[in-house]
Structure 1
Amino acid sequence: MLDTLAQRLGLRTNPTIFFSAAILMVVILTVLLIFPDETGEIFTAGRAWIVSNLGWFFIMGVSLWLAFLLFLAFSRFGNVRLGDEDSRPEYTNVSWFTMLFAGGIGTVLMFWGVAEPISHFAEPPRNVEPYSVAAAQDAMSFSLYHLGLHTWTIFTLPGLAFAYFIYRYKLPIRVSSVFYPFLKERIYGPIGRAIDVFAILGTLFGVAVSIGLGTQQINAGLNYLFDVPNAVLPKVIIIAILTTVAVGSIVAGLDSGIKRLSNLNIGMAVGLMIFVLFTGSTVFLLRQMIETIGLYAANIVPLSFWNDAMATYTDEGGWGWQGGWTVFYWAWTVTWSPFMGIFVARISKGRTIREFVLGVLFAPSAFTLVWFAVFGWSAMEIDGIGGEGGEISAAVVESVPLAMFEFFENYPATVLIQGLAVVIVAIFFATSSDSASLVVDMLCTGDGEAGPVRQRVFWGVSEGLLAASLIVLAGEAGLTALQQVITVIGLPVFLMVFAMAFALIRGMQQEKIERPAVAPPEPPLTDEEKARAEQEGPAALTDER
């Protein structure tokens, strides 16, 4: 019946996966809209339990994943090519990087580039004096820990697993393919379908939360510049407009749409960063770039295992500072992992495991370090390191999305630059949405070819509707409500990614990787052979042997 329905609708997909995911998404949307208060209470209670009891599991897990990936990169498997042995990368390193970044956390850096360092600067996570030098250094260390190697680890592990099983084992482009070493042919049955449907729903929610954050920042910017009300209705209108832009890119496809938008957006973001660097305290920022590398290197290992275990429990939930920051980041980022993993795998065919791991981990992380060094240190210097805080800190207390716009008040061409920041956030939002839509479509079709236009448009519109519903559900609570939703959804996805590491190990062990044959050493000559060699020459023995 589902096959017939798919044919009548002109779809080219797996009907079971497509319709199951679509129906469940509609059901969730309906529940969110009809019972917003009850749903909010459930997510609030769920988040409180998870961060109180399993926060340590999130912290330990991501750090273990990072160590595992580095081990693979430098092991004998590092030279294994993700594809046939004669395959080569389809995209240049520059295009590959821009697509990685724009499809990944471009929106996040625009949202948190100023806000996170200033937040930790004003309210330090550890016991140091606010606005002090120590607070500034801690603020930068935590910001890079959250959005550097560890964030990209969450994308790299599933991306490597997808690429390995899709290109080495020639399996469909689906999350269930990663579990082939355990499930074998059952990936094509009910268990495999259930995994794929769950991955689609998790991806839709993860992207919807990102769209919600981006929409809050765009609305804050429009409110700051043009007095557009900072309310639910304008945010829903913003989502509708930008979803339309994203759908246009979806129709254009990966090479024409997403690649062009990604290159345009990364260029604009780099231009904005250069503007801040050269119109601000240039020498101070250049010096801080070098120091920031040292700060990150010195603190990444301690922070990777810091659990905020001595946090004081309170009546409000008692999970300490880390529950609202690190656990939220990891839970949110991991919901992106099916989408980003398959997206990264799709654009990385032909690269070796070593190239893949080191490229996906370090190239975006290096850009993130420079970004935070420029924006974070600039903001903290403006507010007064060693002082008592300033306008940017006050803006973060009032509304996190306002931080970027208050920050630009200290630079020339203020209104123009603030407007440009809104445009960059909007395009990052569009690239994330269209990338996710194409990937969700791939999860349904099982191959790398784009499905029919109507099919891709359906997922693009669905992401917009889900994001708008979360905005309505969040209401005045805003970011807090989005944190609650994504933390609850992130836990089962986190467990799934953990299982991917074991599947990858098992798959590598089971595959017969071709290696160059090494000729055995020649046995020593006998006395008879030595005599013949003297009489007839060495060639006589070589031919015989």
Structure 2
Amino acid sequence: MTDQTDSDYQIETDTDYEVGQDNVQMLGLDIHNPVFMISGLTIIAFVMVTLMFQAGATEFFGWLRPFLTSTFDWFFLLSANIFVLFSIMLMVSPLGKVRLGGADAKPEYSYLGWFAMLFAAGMGIGLMFFGVSEPISHFSSSLGGTVVEAGARTDWAPLGGAAGDIEAARNLGMAATIFHWSLHPWSIYAVVALALAFFAYNYNLPLTLRSAFYPIFGDRVWGWTGHIIDTLAVFATLFGLATSLGFGTEQTLAGLNYLFGVPTGNVSRVVLISVITAMALISVLRGLDGGVKVLSEINIALAALLLVFIVVIGPTMDIFNTMIAGGAAYVKDLLPLSNPFGREDANFSQGWTSFYWAWWISWSPFVGMFIARVSRGRTVREFLFCVIVIPTLVSVVWMAAFGGTAIEQVAADPEAGVKSAALPLKLFEMLKDLPLAWLTSFLGIILVVVFFVTSSDSGSLVIDTITAGGKTDAPVAQRVFWCVFEGLVAATLLLVGGSQALTALQAMAVSTGFPFTIVLLVMCVSIFMGLLKASRA
């Protein structure tokens, strides 16, 4: 393969496309018609209708998630497997030599800054929320108990029973947890991020979802075909982000109630979301380097500090044993865990895995575009390895430390508080049995809040870029608009969900993740076509 320059990748179009050629200025917003109008008005209507008919909305959300995950669980599992295999194929093939931005492109950020931003945007809130709760849930259920988490009972039929066998239950629990937080989700992110970065930097197309489909649809991506793709991306991003913000809100309130007795009702939810949205707005005004990058690096440092504390002060040897044995169990059980057909563990595949894959897919435009924004200059092979393998290893270490500590607490005392605590409170119950519990719990709250802020700010940047037709310098007022409405959607779903608030959040993530799965599958074809052309240049 010869060296590439940007000119090698220019698409020969019949239409001279300029970003923003059909934009209009209104109220300080650089509106890309009709994506901004359709998505913006639809989101406003959703908030208003949902608040006006809360009883009906609650019933609808309660029905929607189980319907989608039970009907299409095979589709979510099969699609995620395709994304993993596709990413591996690109890494080991000659196509991995293609550099994002051309042969002379140089990375804009150091490895440390790059890792910090992609990790904070990718799974920060999720790891804080599920780091303790998921391993302990799978551990308890695989011992023979019935554990209800987010409305789903876990079941381990295809992997063999472990009733009464603590070691086997620990390994099964960690295998399931690692499965949900490693290769599959990061491959989903990597597919979208690679498509956006490659077609933006090598084909000089706008940094928006429609550009990734140019090899298939040609100039039609600048018409309604592209409008539909971008509008679906906005909906998926907004509701996927709202789900994460909702989880962060619930965990933050649980921590504040635990430490300071702060009420956890609807008023507190609205106030907390308002305060954190205001903090995100400040980050928006500071820009990418002055806002998200700085906060991400601070949060990574704080997360590393908490992780090291737990490993050193907690059951250190048990944590390392859990990491190694759980990782080995994950590799051994990867095929039955990812098998999309003939499953006997419907509660696990539908209640956990299908939701997770739909959530990651709905998040993928957000995380993918953000990663693409900061990944110019990397080769495809380097990009995929770092975006998939490095976060996978970090996730394994994180889950082994937090989940392994909780498992040891339950193994030592079957009545330990971490076992029966509500989902958002499990982290703080685990920390309670370690030294400096008040300080580490407070640090945990800060971590969730800062992850909340970086996610909201990054999400505003992504949606703003999509609705502005790929512009990376759209007016700040437009990012402010989306930042505010991200908070409104999260608050709305929490309010109408009531005691089942998390179910409402998950329902919207799954409903937007389903159609966007089809978009990602087609995107894989487009990526291959584009890379093949670039490798021959």
Q: TM-score, normalised by structure 2?
A: 0.90
Aligned residues of 1:212 and 1:471 also touching (Cα < 8 A): yes
| Greater shift in the superposed pair: 503-512 or 369-378 | 503-512
Q: Which moves more between the two structures, 8-17 or 25-34? A: 8-17
Q: Provide Cα deviations, 1:452-480, integer angstroms capped at 9, x if missing partner.
A: 22111111111011111111121111222
> What are the within-5 Å matches in structure 2 for residues 39-58 of structure 1?
39-58=57-76
- 8 Å CA contact retained: 1:131, 1:389: no
After superposing the two structures, state which structure 1 stretch, 33-42 or 156-165, moved more. Answer: 33-42
CA contact (8 A) 1:438 1:450 kept: no
Pairing partner for 2:474 from 443, 451, 459: 451
SS in structure 2 of the partner of residue 218 of structure 1 = helix
Residue in 2 that maps onto 1:172: 206
Q: Does 1:391 align with 2:417?
A: yes
Q: Corresponding residue for 1:504?
A: 527
Paired position in structure 2 for 1:487: 510
Task: Give the structure 1 partner of residue 173 of structure 2.
Answer: 139
1:475 and 1:324 map into 2 onto residues whose CA distance is 20
Query: What's the CA shift string for 1:15-50, capped at 9, x where partnerless?
Result: 422222211111111121112222333333333332
> Is contact 1:307-1:322 (8 Å) kept?
no
Alignment check: 8 A CA contact 1:437 1:456 kept = yes
Correspondences of 1:7-406 after superposition (within 5 Å): 7-124=25-142, 125-126=155-156, 127-129=161-163, 132-305=166-339, 309-311=343-345, 319-384=346-411, 388-395=414-421, 399-406=422-429
Query: Structure 2 CA distance, aligned partners of 1:228 and 1:131?
Result: 40
Native 8 Å contact 1:253 1:450 kept in 2: no
- The alignment partner of 2:89 has SS state of helix
Pair 203,130 (structure 1): closer, same or farther in 2 beyond 3 Å: farther
Q: C-alpha displacement at 1:409, in angstroms?
A: 0.9
**Is residue 199–residue 338 contact of structure 1 (8 Å, CA) maintained in 2?**
yes
What do residues 144-196 of structure 1 show as CA deviations (whole Å, max 9, x unaligned)? 00011111111011111111211121111111111111211111112211211
The verdict on how the C-alpha distance between 1:372 and 1:8 changes in structure 2, with shifts beyond 3 A counting, is closer
Q: What is the alpha-carbon distance in structure 2 between the residues aligned to residue 418 and residue 48 of structure 1?
A: 33
Between the aligned partners of 1:432 and 1:494, the Cα distance in structure 2 is: 22
Whether the 8 Å contact between 2:178 and 2:327 is mirrored in structure 1 is no
Shift of 1:484: 2.3
Q: Which stretch has the larger CA shift, 282-291 or 233-242?
A: 282-291
Report the count of equivalent residues: 502
Counterpart amino acid of residue 132 in structure 2: V
Deviates more, 1:138-147 or 1:194-203: 194-203
CA displacement at 1:306 relative to structure 2: 5.8
8 Å Cα contact 2:23-2:32 kept in structure 1: no
Cα 1:446–1:85 shift into 2, 3 Å: farther
Q: Deviations over 1:497-545 (max 9, x none)?
A: 111112212333445633xxxxxxxxxxxxxxxxxxxxxxxxxxxxxxx
**Per the alignment, do residues 388 and 345 of structure 1 end up closer, same or farther by CA in structure 2, a change over 3 Å counting?**
same
Amino acid at match of 1:391: G
For 1:240, the aligned partner's letter is: S
The residue type paired with residue 179 of structure 1 is F
Give CA-to-partner distance per residue, 1:255-313, whole Å, 9 cap, x none. Answer: 111000000001001100111111112233234333333233222233122657224xx
2-structure distance, mates of 1:460, 1:12:
16
1:118–1:380: 8 Å Cα contact kept in structure 2?
yes
Verify the 8 A CA contact 1:335 1:493 in the aligned structure 2: yes
Change (3 A) 1:4 1:506: closer
SS of alignment partner, residue 163 of structure 2: coil
Inter-partner Cα distance in structure 2 for 1:40 and 1:285 = 40
Deviations along 1:374-408, whole A, 9 cap, x unmatched? Answer: 111111011116x645221111xxx1011011111
Q: 1:432 aligns with which of 452, 455, 477?
A: 455
1:82·1:353 contact (CA, 8 Å) conserved in 2? yes
Q: Can you give the 5+ residue segments of structure 1 that lack an aligned partner in the other structure?
A: 312-318, 515-545
SS in 2 for 1:91: coil
Matched with 1:522 is none
Residue 10 (structure 1) shift: 2.4
Contact 1:346 1:448 in 2 (8 A): no
> 2:5 — aligned with what?
none
Q: How far apart are 1:252 and its partner, in Å?
A: 0.7
**Unmatched 5+ residue regions in structure 2?**
1-19, 143-154
CA distance in 1, matches of 2:525, 2:21: 34
**What SS does the aligned partner of 1:348 have?**
coil
Asked if 1:408 corresponds to 2:442, the answer is: no
Between the aligned partners of 1:511 and 1:277, the Cα distance in structure 2 is 46
Aligned residue for 1:7, secondary structure, equals strand
TM-score, length of structure 1 as denominator length: 0.88
Call closer, same or farther: CA 1:255–1:406 in 2, change over 3 Å. same
Q: Over aligned residues, Cα RMSD in angstroms?
A: 1.9
In the alignment, the residues of structure 1 paired with residue 31 and residue 231 of structure 2 have an alpha-carbon distance, to the nearest angstrom, of 13
Judged with a 3 Å threshold, the aligned counterparts in structure 2 of structure 1 residues 130 and 219 are, in CA distance, closer, same or farther, namely farther
Change (3 A) 1:359 1:5: closer
